[in-house]
Structure 1
Amino acid sequence: MAKTPAASTPDAAAEQPSGPGKNRPTPTRAEQEAARKRPLVGDSKEARKRARSELAAQREKARIGMAAGEERYLPLRDKGPQRRFVRDFVDGGWHLGELVMPLMVVVILLSLVPNTAVTFYAFVGLWVYILFVIGDMIITSVRVKKAAREQFGETRVEKGLGWYAAMRSIQMRFMRLPKPQVRRGGRPI
């Protein structure tokens, strides 16, 4: 048998794979860092400014879309026809929970009065009102579930609609997101 010229030299034998392993020297840290470096896309000030303004425009469009109730801009918890039905159902009525925050501000102001009886009765009145709010939330939850069963069918009703309605009912109307799409006294579509 004749030896090939490449296999006869000791350097060539070292370059050929001889088993499991990488069969090459480990690159130095400087070589690894140099390999990772690449130019930034749009490195100029104008490009960064343009990208920032485009991102701001996209965010503004998404904010307006969410406030308007456009389905593609809504977070997952607000998506779907049943959630829209619940939002419209809650937004169409009056709820005691809407006045909790203003009432709490009044109680805080009354607690500054030096008369302890005024402070005591203000806090008692607040807690009684909160009990009524909880009752209103429970009633709203039951009514929403019943209306959703009638609207969408017994088996197709999503879980959590009652809780969703109760939480929306305690938010002040002007702070709700997505913004109310029906007037008070209106009914869901």
Structure 2
Amino acid sequence: MFGRKKEAPLAQDVVDQQAAEALARQDAALGKGAPTPKRKAQEAARKRPLVPEDRKASKAAERAAVQEQRIKMRQALDTGDEKFLPLRDKGPQKRYARDYVDARFSLGEYLMFGALLFVIISLLVPSTSESMIYVLGGFWVMFLAVFVDVFILSRKLRKRLTEKFGEVERGTVWYGSMRSLQFRRLRLPKPLVKRGEFPA
């Protein structure tokens, strides 16, 4: 009634068995040609040292690989090569949003310059001066104009994306809106279309 329970197979044994079965199926499909390697030979082939013997060489190789990846990513930001772009910039919808934003004139491109100018003027003009009211009013008018421009852009971009792709990926409209607030020459990935060359 209270007999001994069978011991559960070890995880490694299960993996080995699955690997052997997969190898047997492959041999059956392609033709045997050679004897099936023994379990010890299969385990030895799979074994890799957790810590490399030459740590210096390993670290140097890792640094070189990371550096190469960075160079490729930097080149992709210049050329628009989809393969090496950062994850946030990948995909046909993101590409379309970039091209659409880069093709239009956006007030948001000059928001940072306006803010910098406001800071400089506020340092030069006394806060009690009457002219300071006009400076502050001008800044808020510019800020409101940028907000309206971004709102119109987001509505148009969403409509274009829906017409072309059907369903709009989450974050794509926001991605395009934030790009419109960056100065055109400083945008990354770099613009690949001229002003007025809207994507089809």
Q: TM-score, normalising length from structure 2?
A: 0.65
Task: Say how many residue pairs are matched.
Answer: 150
* Counterpart amino acid of residue 182 in structure 2: Q
Q: 1:169 to 1:41 in 2, by over 3 A?
A: farther
Counterpart residue number, 1:31: none
Shift in Å at residue 51 of structure 1?
Answer: 4.8
Show structure 2 runs of 5+ residues with no match.
1-49
Show structure 1 runs of 5+ residues with no match.
1-37
Does 1:120 pair with 2:125? no
Counterpart residue number, 1:136: 149
Q: 1:158 to 1:55 in 2, by over 3 A?
A: closer
Does 1:162 pair with 2:184? no
Q: In the alignment, is the contact (CA less than 8 A) between 1:137 and 1:169 conserved in 2?
A: yes
Whichever of the two has the greater Rg, that structure is 1
Q: 1:60 aligns with which of 71, 77, 84?
A: 71
| TM-align CA RMSD | 2.4
Does 1:42 pair with 2:38? no
Does 1:105 pair with 2:127? no
Distance 1:73 1:121 in 2: 48
Q: In the alignment, is the contact (CA less than 8 A) between 2:103 and 2:197 conserved in 1?
A: yes
Counterpart residue number, 1:9: none
Distance 1:55 1:152 in 2: 35
Q: 1:95 aligns with which of 106, 110, 113?
A: 106
Q: TM-score, normalising length from structure 1?
A: 0.68
Shift in Å at residue 40 of structure 1?
Answer: 5.1
Distance 2:114 2:83 in 1: 36
Counterpart residue number, 2:83: 72
Counterpart residue number, 2:44: none
Shift in Å at residue 145 of structure 1?
Answer: 1.2
